[in-house]
Structure formats: C-alpha cells, structure tokens
Amino acid sequence: MELSKEEWGTYRGHIVHIYTVKDTKNNFSVGITELGASLLRILLPDKNGVVGDIALTQYTPKELVEKPGYLGQSIGRFGNRINHAKFELDGIEHRLNANSNGHCLHGGKEGFNQKVWTLLDSKVSESEVILHFQYISPDAEENFPGELKNSVIYNVSPLQISWEFLASTNRATTINLTNHAYWNLDGLETTIDHLSVQLKATHYMPINQDGSPTGEVVAIEAGSALDLSSPKPIEQVFKDFGDVDNNFFINGRDANPKGNKKGSPLHSFAQVFSPKTGRFMEIQTTEPCFQFYTGNFLHEVGTVNGHHKADKHYAFCMEKQSPPKAINLPQFRDWAILKPRDE
C-alpha cells in the first residue's frame, strides 16, 4: 500500500490536502482530505480491468463545501434530521439552526462537513493505510450543548475501505455521526437504475413530504416494494416504491427498541452489484440503522468530479446511523445521547 500527499488548495485561510492511498496490485485508489474529513475520488477497475470513478466528489475545496449534496463528507454533530430543529436534554430545550424545511439537517447551517479537521496520525504498511482525523466542536456550536471531541479513522486495505467515528463530550449532548459518500458502480455517466441491491432490513421509517421521518416504524412485508431481502434492480424499486430516502432498521435491531443498544459487532447489511461492470460492494456497520438515499436531488448539484453532469439517480448513499430525529423519539432517545465518560 502507498500513501502520497499533495496540496489541494485553501479554505478559509487553511491549506488543505489530498491524501491518496493506492493499492497498486489491484489498481484501487482512494482520495481523502481533512476538509470535512471527506472521501474524494475512489477509483476501481471493472471486470475488463478498466479503472474508473465509483464515487462522486468535487475537484476544488470551494466546490466541495459550497455545492449541495455533502459529497463524501463527514456529517455531524447530528446526521440526518432533528425535527423542528429543537430537542430537550436534562430539562433544557435546545433550539438549533433550521436549514431544511424548518428542521435541522446534517448538523445545521455549518456542520462538521465544513470544518477543516486535523490529521493526528498516519500509518502505512504493506497491508493497510490508516489516517486519523480529529475535529473539536466547541460548546454551543450550532447551539448543541457540550464540547465534543470527534475522530474519524480511515483504514484503506486491498479493495476495502472502512471508517470509524469516535467521540467524547464534557456535557451530555446528542450525536449521530456518519459519512455521506455517493456511489455508482456503473460509473459517472449513467443512473443507478441497473444496479442490483440486496438489504438486510426488516423495518423502515416513512417520511413526510418535506423529507422528515414521520416517526413511525413500519414492518417490511415479504414481497412488498421495499422487500430487498433478495437482489433486485434499483429500477424495479423506483417502479414499485418511487424515490428512496428512508431510514432502515438492520435485521434484529428493531424488534425491541428500548432494549437495543449501540455498539454491536460489525455486521453486513447491504450488497450492491453492477452486471455491466462486474463491480460488487458489500457494506458492513456496527450501527443499528442506515439511510438508503437514491440521489433524488443530485440534479441540484450541477457537475461532479470535474466536468461530469450530476442528475437525479446518478448515485446512491448508504448512511450508517442511529434513527433520524432519535433524540425526540422516546423509544430511540438513548441511542442519540452521549454523556461524559462515554465514547
């Protein structure tokens, strides 16, 4: 494995870099930056050995932050939505910055994705490259309580990439960290319609017209539109259900919500395959849920990866998380609270 570093540009007076990890044996490479602790270009060969992009990004720091979409960025302090941009904790009501139809989305008006993180450590060996980034969020940033020390540790090994979020606080707060990577195993020139997806999920949360979850948890019936227990073309999901932007509960994490705790072992919950390119992705997490988003608003981004047109359904996200608005849902509230001495 190889690691290189190059200056990418500046953001708010800070020099930011691209850290490129290469798995030369498999022609697999991953770009990462301290700006938003974000994933950048990810290159992977197809079944014919042709190397191509499989993730959406931007080619300048300004575009990455100022264009919509949160492409590849680390999300916090609270990923997904907090309804009505407020919550109560320890008898105090906290009113947040509303940035999405009256709700707080992905941390508010200036979330962790717009921060320049600090590279604390890097390790390179024959089998892996590890990059450890940190961002310290001050008390009351975006009106969230407590100073929050956040780390994201990227680990890139042959044909594999993983990341781990760690956090500690000096005051009880709400937290839901995730990464907002967009994927298309068919490349950048087409929709995700012909990708095949299989999910290990037994329940999901419906959403309102403004994209916020209703708070209901609905069982996925066998044979229904969202029954993806067997591989199904995403095109068929669109025909049967429509656009997807919903939280799903991974098998076994929803039957007894009050008894469910985070910190479970790593488990596989999704498989995606491209018949066209032969590329295959398996996704694992320790989190109880994930947000399956089918890029319904990518047309608002304009262009990605330099000059490629971004359009609706040109990529998908699988955002590992606690349930959206969990802090305001009694049965999931404990999942979204971090206290001093917890991590």
Instruction: Please tell me the predicted confidence (pLDDT) of residue 264.
Output: 72
pLDDT of residue 340: 97
Amino acid identity for residue 272 in this structure: V
**SS percent in the chain: helix, strand, coil, step 5:** 10, 45, 45
State the Cα–Cα distance between residues 74 and 112, nearest whole angstrom: 7
Average pLDDT of every residue of the chain:
96
pLDDT given for residue 108 in this prediction: 98
Tens digits of residue pLDDT in 106-154: 999 999 999 999 999 999 999 999 999 999 999 999 999 999 999 999 9
| Structure tokens, 229 | 């227990």
What pLDDT shows up at residue 262?
53
Burial 122-156 (b: 16+ CB within 10 A, else e): eeeeeebbbbbbbbebeeebbebbbbbebbbbbbb
**pTM: predicted TM-score of the whole model, two decimal places:** 0.97
Q: What percent of the chain has pLDDT over 90?
A: 94
DSSP H helical ranges for 211-273:
234-240
- Which pLDDT score is estimated for 263? 56
Q: What digits encode the pLDDT tens for the residues 52-66?
A: 999 999 999 999 999
Does residue 259 carry a pLDDT above 60?
Answer: no
Which residues are catalytic, by number?
Answer: 180, 319
Q: Label residue 243 exposed, middle or buried (CB < 10 Å: 0-12, 13-18, 19+).
A: middle
Q: Give phi and psi for 294, each to the nearest 5.
A: -100, 30
**Lowest-confidence segment of 17-31, 137-151, 238-252, 256-270 by average pLDDT:** 256-270
In this predicted structure, the answer to whether residue 332 has a pLDDT above a threshold of 70 is: yes
For residues 197-213, average pLDDT: 96
pLDDT of residue 254: 57
Mean pLDDT calculated for residue range 38-61: 98
The pLDDT confidence band at residue 255, using thresholds 50, 70 and 90, is very low
Cα separation values, 164 from 43, 69, 178, 270, Å: 21, 22, 9, 18
If you ran DSSP here, which 8-state letter would residue 213 be given?
A: B
Averaged pLDDT, 320-327: 96
Query: For residue range 77-115, what is the model confidence (pLDDT) as tens digits?
Result: 999 999 999 999 999 999 999 999 999 999 999 999 999
